[in-house]
């Protein structure tokens, strides 16, 4: 892989640099590890961040969501929390490579120990693209990076939502992308931690296929009322994105 000589000091032998096609920003990733997908891009656009707000991204992985949100929102500062040390280090190097040290911090730590890491009510906006799956049957190497990113082997849905609720003040907003088959559980746990579901959007691969992802917004201490937005369709034909997806990538 050819690497810009100016960036060579930021990457290791098992890594690559991807162009985010957004304000010249780039992202370091491990080709053999867990790489970000369309879900991260969509969540970064679904979340609403007001001018001057501080944002915490749980399970930040490569740090792609804080970097995209720093590019596309007026938020003042973004913090990414990541459990795996090598991914936290990689995300931090991406921040430095893009000259975003003044707007983004990467913290290596455990979501379950959130009270040891941050003060309560310290982030008015929280985002998360968490592990989706709970069924470990047949899985091997449960603690490999890809497995940790995709399956709840180190944290649960409740761990994530409890952490978000702790760091959010009243009327703070929570944004998550997840799997539709867990919606009943998602809403139940959100309500348990006083994050009232306020907005939801299903994501379908094609207009005639069932949803494969869902984005949810919650308001801490909010009243009961949810808006269901029109489904987001990813492809209009195999390998051809819909106009909305093209626009989101072009803005990212």
Domain count of the fold of the chain: 1
CATH number (domain holding residue 178) = 3.40.50.150
| Residue 201, domain member (yes or no) | yes
CA–CA separation, 234 and 246 (whole Å) = 9
**Concatenated DSSP letters for 183-218?**
HHHHHHHHHHTTEEEEEEEEEESSTTS---EEEEEE
Tell me if residue 8 falls in helix, strand or coil: helix
- pLDDT value, residue 23: 85
- pLDDT value, residue 144: 59
- pLDDT value, residue 9: 75
Tell me if residue 98 falls in helix, strand or coil: coil
Residue 137's contacts (CB-CB under 8 Å, 6 or more residues apart) are none
| Residue 2, domain member (yes or no) | no
- Whether the full predicted model's pTM is greater than 0.95, yes or no, is no
CA–CA separation, 62 and 191 (whole Å) = 29
| Residue 1, domain member (yes or no) | no
Burial 28-50 (b: 16+ CB within 10 A, else e): bbbeebbbbebbbbbbbbbbebe
Rounded to 10 degrees, the C-alpha dihedral 146/151/156/159 comes to 20
| Residue 41, domain member (yes or no) | yes
- pLDDT value, residue 148: 44
pLDDT tens, residue order, the chain (252 aa): 445 656 767 888 888 999 898 888 999 998 888 788 899 999 999 999 999 999 999 999 999 999 999 999 999 999 999 999 999 999 999 999 999 999 999 999 999 999 999 999 999 999 999 986 565 544 545 545 544 445 445 789 999 999 999 999 999 999 999 999 999 999 999 999 999 999 999 999 999 999 999 999 999 999 999 999 999 999 999 999 999 998 887 765
- pLDDT value, residue 145: 54
| Residue 44, domain member (yes or no) | yes
CA–CA separation, 89 and 70 (whole Å) = 19
Q: Among 128, 112, 141, 9, which residue's Cα sits nearest to residue 66?
A: 128
| Residue 105, domain member (yes or no) | yes
| Residue 180, domain member (yes or no) | yes
CA–CA separation, 165 and 79 (whole Å) = 16
For residue 225, give its domain range.
Answer: 8-251
- pLDDT value, residue 138: 47
| Residue 120, domain member (yes or no) | yes
Cβ(31)–Cβ(17) below 8 Å? no
Cβ(112)–Cβ(152) below 8 Å? no
């Amino acid at each position: 892989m050819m690497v810009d000589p100016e960036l060579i000091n930021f990457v290791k032998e098992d890594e690559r640099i991807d162009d985010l096609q957004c304000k010249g920003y780039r992202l370091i990733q491990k080709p053999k590890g867990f790489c970000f997908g369309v879900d991260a891009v969509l969540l970064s656009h679904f979340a609403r961040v007001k001018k001057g707000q501080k944002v915490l991204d749980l399970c930040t992985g490569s740090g792609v969501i804080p970097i995209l949100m720093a590019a596309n929102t007026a938020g003042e500062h973004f913090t990414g929390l990541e459990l795996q040390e090598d991914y936290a280090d990689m995300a931090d190097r991406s921040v430095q490579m893009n000259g975003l040290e003044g707007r983004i911090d990467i913290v290596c730590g455990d979501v379950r120990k959130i009270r040891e890491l941050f003060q309560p009510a310290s982030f008015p906006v929280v985002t998360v693209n968490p592990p989706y799956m709970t069924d470990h049957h047949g899985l091997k190497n449960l603690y490999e990076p890809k497995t940790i990113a995709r399956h709840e082997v180190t944290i649960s849905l409740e761990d994530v939502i409890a952490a978000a609720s702790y760091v959010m003040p009243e009327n703070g907003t929570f944004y998550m992308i997840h799997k539709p088959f867990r919606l009943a559980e998602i809403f139940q746990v959100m309500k348990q931690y006083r994050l009232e579901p306020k907005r939801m959007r299903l994501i379908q691969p094609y207009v005639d296929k069932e949803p494969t992802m869902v984005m949810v917004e919650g308001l801490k201490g909010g009243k009961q009322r949810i808006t269901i937005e029109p489904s987001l369709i990813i492809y209009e034909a195999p390998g051809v994105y819909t106009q909305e997806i093209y626009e989101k990538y072009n803005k990212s």
